[in-house]
Structure 1
Amino acid sequence: MIRINQLKLSPIHSEDDMRKAIKHSLKLSDELEFEYKIVKRSIDARHKPEILYVYAVNVKIKNQSLENKTIKKVYNNNVMLTTENKYTFPCTQISDNQENTLRPIIIGFGPAGMFCALFLARCGLKPIVVERGQCVEKRLKAVNEFWNTNELNINSNVQFGEGGAGTFSDGKLNTMIKDPSGRIAKVLETFVEAGADSSILYNNKPHIGTDVLCDIVRNIRKEIISLGGEVRFNTCLEGIDAPNNEVKSIHVKDTSEQNLKTEKIDCDTVVMAIGHSARDTFAMIHEIGIEMVSKSFAVGLRIEHPQAFINYNTYGDATYKNLPVADYKVTYQAKTGRGVYSFCMCPGGYVVNASSEKEMLAINGMSYSRRDSKNANSALIVTVTPQDFDGIGPLAGIEFQRKLERAAYKEGKGSVPVQLVSDFIDNRISTKLGQVTPCIKGSYEFANIRNILPEYISQTIIEGLDNFGNLIKGYNMEDAVLSGIESRTSSPVRIIRNDLGESSIKGLFPCGEGAGYAGGITSAAIDGIKTAEKIAQKYIK
């Protein structure tokens, strides 16, 4: 198979244009038959208004014996022989003598827990999933009710429920991790099998969108159940029995009933895929002695600009009708010694009230599949380390988050606090909007966000805004809208695990973003697959 990199075509190219470009790159005669597969597609907008799609494609010539000769003939560094790396799960099916083993328990049904459960189910281990929130159908209603009324369901919200926090995001699937095993491709293929558009297999920055992602996670749940797995919603982990540092059972509570009944489940394998906001669960496992440490993360604000402004910055006067809405990435090292950077940028998106605890307020960004909101939003965040936290110990970062979220709730009077950039810089409350009207899911209130943040973070963001205005002219426009607080960028803790994937308690497998081993949907899903591999190798001989 031949790989062609840097194959450039107009955004309005046809299938015939693609085949002609491949023939030209490989110097193929018209009669030579071939097939191709797009591996990656990105956009080159450096010479706007001329915009180009840049492809990497794999090409199979029907007469494969000609491929070596073709490579030598074209003598091009962007043309090379390649092989397709297909992921294979190490175990295919449980053996008959394993049917009576205790079923593995998955705590949490976000991307990590979902993919761990799916791959264990596919090899016959019939996992039991415990999820404190609701199924996605009911969760959607609970979240929309919260946005409309400010009445928070602490167990089913933007953070908790089927699909995890990623369900109410942009559904971004790009990741910075390197994984030669093929797991990244396997995650994307699994999403396509569950209903995602096949373009996520090759787009440089693939995304699904909250609306489509809801259908996808439901379809994955149905496959798990069809393979003998079980998914228990409205079920919260309350305790773990681990005599001699070995898991023997767990205790769970039904969060949907008034009597809050508790159930004991015998088990010897528990996957802790609890997500980055399961603060009560972090406290519980810390209390029973599971080894964990506080870690760095980032906090800051969200900024909204007109999407048309971001599009013009990227594409200029280009008139192609099928270009995707534009995104951006900015980063800056401030004089404070801290970095400030954009994070989870949502083109055509919404800022969402993503709170999960009473009288605390956190926000996130979200886009639907069409990305057709009038605003672009992105987090502007600053890294904080354990040295910045008031306390010590593994849970100090959580208390740092809570302090900021309480302040945000108070400053916004229970609603999302918003402020114009100019007023943030001048340290005064905003009183009216300019050309940017916030696109926010949930109520919002004019406030002085400087009252929420430590001053070193505010000053770092102010300096960053000034620099970003040089990178994207007008980025620091006076009436761009800021909102806060963006505090759930990643987990504030890491649960220590060994080479077998287990914590300091045998049989307990920390997994995914909440455990401190992932950041985003795809990397969390990959960590779920890795954990499933270790469990399968443990129980299937």
Structure 2
Amino acid sequence: MQVKELILTPEEAFDEAHLLGTLYQKLSVPQNGDLVVQPIKRSIDARGREIKVRMQYEVLNKKNLIPLRGKEYNSVHNKKPILVIGSGPAGLFAALRLIELNYKPIVLERGKDVQARRRDLAAINKDHVVNPDSNYCFGEGGAGTYSDGKLYTRSKKRGDVHRIMEILVAHGAKDEILYDAHPHVGTNKLPQLVAALRESILAAGGEIHFNTKVTDFIIKGDTIEGIITEKGDIIKADATILATGHSARDIFELLDQNKVLIEAKPFALGVRVEHQQNLIDKIQYHCSIDRGDYLPASAYALVHQASINGKDKGVFSFCMCPGGFIVPAATAPGELVVNGMSPSRRDSKFANSGIVVAIDEIDFKPYQKYGALAAMHFQAEVEQKAWALGGKTQTAPAQRLIDFVEKRESSSLLDTSYQPGLVSADMGVFLPTFVTDALRQGFKAFGQKMKGYLTNDAQIIGVESRTSSPVRIPRDKESLQHPQIKNLFPCGEGAGYAGGIVSAAMDGERCAEAVGRLVLR
């Protein structure tokens, strides 16, 4: 059927209770007939003074409608076991795909289940205590669970995005993620969704072991046969999918110690900038007061090529969280890291975004003595300096935006969504000079692109450093196996092959399919 487009008002497009009824009415399609109106894409057009919502749709005969994917899986209780290390999006979707392929996934997670994680998150926010195995990065669902839950990806060539969305809907996500241009779930909804994914794995006969930290690999010759846990347990399987996320530094070190080939990888590092959401709405929606009751909190995406010592340096927004909160994302005592998250309604009065600078090989060249871990040590040193500047707690260094750009300390700071608190500081104390120079150029350019963005009624908070893995675990393009170690499948963000929930989930599925091709031989 031909996809067509309808122009709606924000009230028509975002009134959840009446959206479908509005579509049927405008298209003169009877709701009790044989025709079904199916939304394909919903996007906001704020280019003019009057905001429009573009709704792409198709009208299908009911008998031609393909039902959404369910969550029924065959039993794999007695099938061949496959190890999956990590229960983030890559690990969970690898496990589900293994079940579909008739294998039994054994998922090992160093952290706690999604409900038990909450106590450790509260301890970080209130008591500044970081549990190195249970925090905003580690635990069931990985770093994506307590985040904005963004589901937008450009990695469409790597897998079936719609399939991932359907699985999420089957496990509790709203069906609007199937057609929103920039879908998200929200940090308040993700824990229930992750728990539902777990239940599907367990119900089919898969296993999930929490509080199970991998401390060594069992490698015989050129083949991985299993792992050893912190408790001394030995777990063997026909293949191992390594999906530990971008912050599992101990796993990177373990691979290096075992002479398993890994590589230093470029990443990005910078700060979180926090504005009033109302200000971002006024800029993006061209409104003088507020956005009204139906338009969602507005987001932005910014990029600039700064000139540092005669060379271009990318500065860009990362993980923008409209109506959100800044959270402490350290994974070990003695470091300070910030990240952003949003609830499903995105109804906080704050907007925050990472503003980061591309870090490449020349930048971590002074750390070459660490070999493949050079970028990781560069990253860790910046985080440790930020922790010291914050008073050796989870209190974060901060600076008003224009004060930072004009190189002066802030005599006072603004209200913030960051619960552990802020301390006024010169951000240049812990950030490398080339990073602060690039950020200053970037903020000036962003102020030109978004009039009102560059203001002292905004502040930067640091450090935003876990944008992606500082290590790549190489793999063969065809088999997806490690080039040296047979039956080892590096997977997801931690291995350097994904950059968000959906791309990680797709990579998990790809690795499960690669395991299936290998084991069937």
Query: Structure 2 length normalisation: TM-score?
Result: 0.91
Query: Equivalent of 1:214, from 184, 191, 212?
Result: 191
> What aligned pairs does 1:155-170 form with structure 2 within 5 A after superposition?
155-170=133-148
- Counterpart in the other structure of 1:54: 54
Question: 2 CA distance for matches of 1:386 and 1:422?
Answer: 30
Match in the other structure for 2:264: 294
Local SS of the residue matching 2:188: helix
1:266-305 → structure 2 map (5 Å cutoff): 266-305=236-275
Residue aligning to 1:243: 220
Out of 482, 485, 493, the residue aligned to residue 513 of structure 1 is: 493
1:158-193 CA distance string (max 9 Å, x none): 111001011121110000112385x21111111111
Q: Is the 8 A contact 2:69 2:166 kept in 1?
A: no
Contact 1:276-1:514 at 8 Å conserved across structures = yes
Equivalences, count: 502
Give yes or no for contact 2:68–2:166 (8 Å, CA) kept in 1: no
**Mapping 1:43-82, distance limit 5 Å:** 43-48=44-49, 50-61=50-61
CA distance, structure 2, for counterparts of residue 223 and residue 31 of structure 1:
34
Whether the 8 Å CA contact 2:297–2:322 is kept in 1: the answer is yes
CA distance in 1, matches of 2:137, 2:32: 56
Range that drifts further, 262-271 or 172-181:
172-181
Work out whether residues 282 and 291 of structure 2, in 8 Å CA contact, stay in contact via their aligned partners in 1. Answer: no
CA apart distance, 1:19: 3.3
Paired with 1:177 and 1:88, the residues of 2 have a C-alpha distance of: 24
Shift of 1:486: 0.5
Distance 1:84 1:63 in 2: 8
Give the Å deviation of 1:234: 0.7
The residue that corresponds to 2:459 in the other structure is 481
> Which one of 399, 403, 409 corresponds to residue 387 of structure 2?
409
Work out whether 1:186 is the aligned partner of 2:166.
no
Deviation of 1:540 (Å): 4.6
Q: Distance in 2 between matches of 1:314 and 1:149?
A: 37
1:171 aligns with 2:149: yes
For 2:38 and 2:314, locate their aligned partners in 1 and report how far apart those are by CA, in whole Å.
39
Name the CA distance, whole Å, in 2 between partners of 1:32 and 1:445.
Answer: 62
Within 5 Å, which residues of 2 pair with 1:228-239? 228-239=205-216
Q: Superposition pairs for residues 131-530 of structure 1, below 5 Å?
A: 131-179=109-157, 183-253=160-230, 261-317=231-287, 320-336=292-308, 337-389=312-364, 390-392=366-368, 393-413=371-391, 414=393, 415-433=395-413, 436-498=414-476, 499-503=478-482, 504-530=484-510
Q: Secondary structure at the match of 1:219?
A: helix
Q: Is the 8 A contact 1:93 1:123 kept in 2?
A: no
CA contact (8 A) 1:9 1:18 kept: no
Q: Which runs of 4+ in 1 moved over 6 A?
A: 28-32, 83-89, 92-95
Does the 8 A contact of 1:110 with 1:166 survive in 2?
yes
Distance 1:252 1:409 in 2: 30
Secondary structure class of the residue paired with 2:494: coil
In structure 2, do the counterparts of structure 1 residues 30 and 341 end up closer, same or farther at CA, with 3 Å as the change threshold?
Answer: closer
What is the rounded CA distance, in whole Å, between the counterparts of 1:531 and 1:86 in structure 2?
24
- Equivalent position SS for 1:242: strand
1:126–1:31 CA distance, 2 compared to 1 (3 A): closer
Q: Which amino acid in 2 is paired with 1:329?
A: A
Query: Normalization by structure 1: what TM-score?
Result: 0.88
Q: CA deviation at 1:144?
A: 1.0
1:19 aligns with 2:20: no
Q: CA deviation at 1:33?
A: 5.7
Answer whether contact 1:124 1:227 (CA < 8 A) is retained. Answer: no
- CA change 1:29–1:299 in 2 (3 A) is closer
Residue 73 of structure 1 corresponds to none
Match runs of 1:31-46 below 5 Å: 34-46=35-47
In structure 2, distance between residues paired with 1:319 and 1:243: 62
Q: Which amino acid aligns with 1:495?
A: I
* Higher mean C-alpha deviation, range 239-248 or range 147-156: 239-248
1:128 maps to 2:106: yes
Task: Tell me the CA shift for residue 44 of structure 1.
Answer: 0.6
2-side partners of 1:86 and 1:61: how far apart?
16
Partners of 2:63 and 2:466 in 1: CA distance: 53
For 1:22 and 1:287, the matched residues in 2 are separated by 64
1:17-61 alpha-carbon deviations (Å, 9 max, x no partner): 4235546xxxx999996322111100011112x111112212225
Distance 2:352 2:32 in 1: 50
Contact 1:343 1:379 in 2 (8 A): yes
Q: Distance in 2 between matches of 1:180 and 1:227?
A: 26
Query: Unaligned regions of 5+ residues in structure 2, if any?
Result: 13-18
Amino acid paired to 2:178: L
In 2: Cα distance, 1:280 partner to 1:374 partner: 37
Computed over aligned residues only, the root mean square deviation of the Cα atoms, in angstroms, reads 2.5
Residue aligned with 1:505, SS: coil
Identity %, equivalent residues = 38
| Pair 1:31–1:450, CA change in 2 (3 A) | closer
Deviation at 1:328, TM superposition (A): 0.7
**Deviation by residue 1:501-530 (Cα, 9 ceiling, x = unmatched):** 111211111000000000001100000011
